[in-house]
Amino acid sequence: MKLPIYQIDAFTDKVFKGNYAAVVPLERWLPDGLMQAIATENNLSETAFFVKNADGAFDIRWFSPLTEIAFCGHATLASAYVIFKRCNDLEAIEFVAKAVGRLPVCRTYDGLIEMSFPQRRPEKLNEIPANLIQGLSIQPQEVLITQQAYVAIYGTEHEVRSLVPELNLLSALGPRDVVVTARGDEYDFVSRYFWPANGGDEDPVTGSIHATLAPLWSERLGRSELVAMQASRRSGLLHCRVQDDRVYISGQAVQYLEGTIEIPEAQMRPL
């Protein structure tokens, strides 16, 4: 069986920047084990699979090299980029995911792709895990928590950029990941994201966590529209807008490659 595959760099307009995602359009779902095997073989932050449903929306699932992920922003952006490129007359689409519901996506007048996510506001954390404090080389000012991650807040962008994580300690915090963030020098806020328990060491750009970070910084900075920089080695730029119970996250994407996956029919059965 032959399957199309695209590799897209998301939240950037340049190849080799932003976050890489593989996108595999499907006519019907493959066995879970096979999708995981493809994602592991790709060895990218995420591989997204989507199937068009009877309502005209796209059911979407995301896999890291290690496991299926409940919510992934950059691979959603990459998938939208592929769909818009394949169907140039489309201006808006909708994804559906089990953990987060319906995710409307549209092309904006200024050439960005805008995704609508449910807000995931962080909550106070009464007791900070020892592995979190010991796993971060710089003590945070404050730590909050969401279903997805621990949110460590710092006083300066320099602290976020210079922090050196102890990934073996942070991996023990799974299933939650760790995001570190501060008010930015050039941008409204900056962040870095570590997920050794779920996918890798440091994620280049994490769209999903901005459904948490954008409301957090919107409240603290007193603005509903923000520009964020994820300060990884590859880096990425995210335009965020907080409105009611939604967070609108926009970015650019660029295609790195287009190819074909060849899977012998004997391996199409569940792994």
171 Cβ contact list (under 8 Å, min separation 6):
196, 197
CA distance 171 to 81: 32
For 51-86, what is each residue's pLDDT tens digit? 999 999 999 999 999 999 999 999 999 999 999 999
The residues that bridge with 92 in the sheet, in sequence order, are: 106
Say yes or no: 129 and 84 in one domain. Answer: no
Q: Among the options 27, 41, 46, 258, which is catalytic?
A: 46
φ and ψ of 45, to 5 deg: -50, -50
Q: How many CA atoms lie within 13 A of 43 on its CB side?
A: 1
115 within a domain of the structure (yes/no): no
User: In which domain, by residue range, is 55 found?
Assistant: 2-107+252-267
Say yes or no: 190 and 226 in one domain. Answer: yes
pTM of the model: 0.92
Say yes or no: 258 and 231 in one domain. Answer: no
117 within a domain of the structure (yes/no): no
118 within a domain of the structure (yes/no): no
Burial class of residue 229 (count of CB atoms within 10 Å of its CB; 0-12, 13-18, 19+): buried
Indicate the pLDDT class of residue 37, thresholds 50, 70 and 90: very high
196 within a domain of the structure (yes/no): yes
Look at the chain and report how many structural domains it folds into: 2
Please confirm, yes or no, whether 46 is among the known catalytic residues: yes
Say yes or no: 213 and 160 in one domain. Answer: yes
Say yes or no: 209 and 257 in one domain. Answer: no
Task: Please compute the mean of the pLDDT values over residues 28-44 and round it to a whole number.
Answer: 96
Q: Which residues of 128-153 are buried (b: 16+ CB within 10 A; e: fewer)?
A: ebebbeebbebebeebbbbebbbbbb
Identify how many contiguous H helices and E strands the chain contains and give both numbers. 6, 18
216 within a domain of the structure (yes/no): yes
For 113-163, what is each residue's pLDDT tens digit? 999 999 999 999 989 999 999 999 999 999 999 999 999 999 999 999 999
Say yes or no: 256 and 217 in one domain. Answer: no
CA distance 85 to 79: 10
Say yes or no: 238 and 263 in one domain. Answer: no
- pLDDT, residue 220, reads 97
**Three-state SS at 50:** strand
Q: Does 271 have pLDDT greater than 70?
A: no
DSSP state of 215: H
CA distance 74 to 45: 9
Task: Determine if residue 177 is left, alpha or beta; phi over 0 gives left, psi from -120 to 50 gives alpha, anything else beta.
Answer: beta
At 183, which CATH number? 3.10.310.10
| Both structure tokens of 171 | 């991996």
Q: Does 238 have pLDDT greater than 70?
A: yes
CA distance 126 to 129: 10
Task: State the DSSP H helix or E strand holding residue 107, giving kind and residue range, or none if neither.
Answer: strand 101-107
Q: Does 200 have pLDDT greater than 90?
A: no
CA distance 252 to 240: 13
Say yes or no: 127 and 194 in one domain. Answer: yes
For 240-255, what is each residue's pLDDT tens digit? 999 999 999 999 999 9
Alpha helices in the chain (DSSP H): 32-42, 73-86, 130-135, 157-162, 167-170, 210-221
134 within a domain of the structure (yes/no): yes
Say yes or no: 204 and 154 in one domain. Answer: yes
191 within a domain of the structure (yes/no): yes
CA distance 109 to 112: 7
| Both structure tokens of 12 | 């950037």
Say yes or no: 211 and 260 in one domain. Answer: no
Say yes or no: 97 and 153 in one domain. Answer: no
114 within a domain of the structure (yes/no): no
Say yes or no: 75 and 17 in one domain. Answer: yes
CA distance 191 to 180: 5
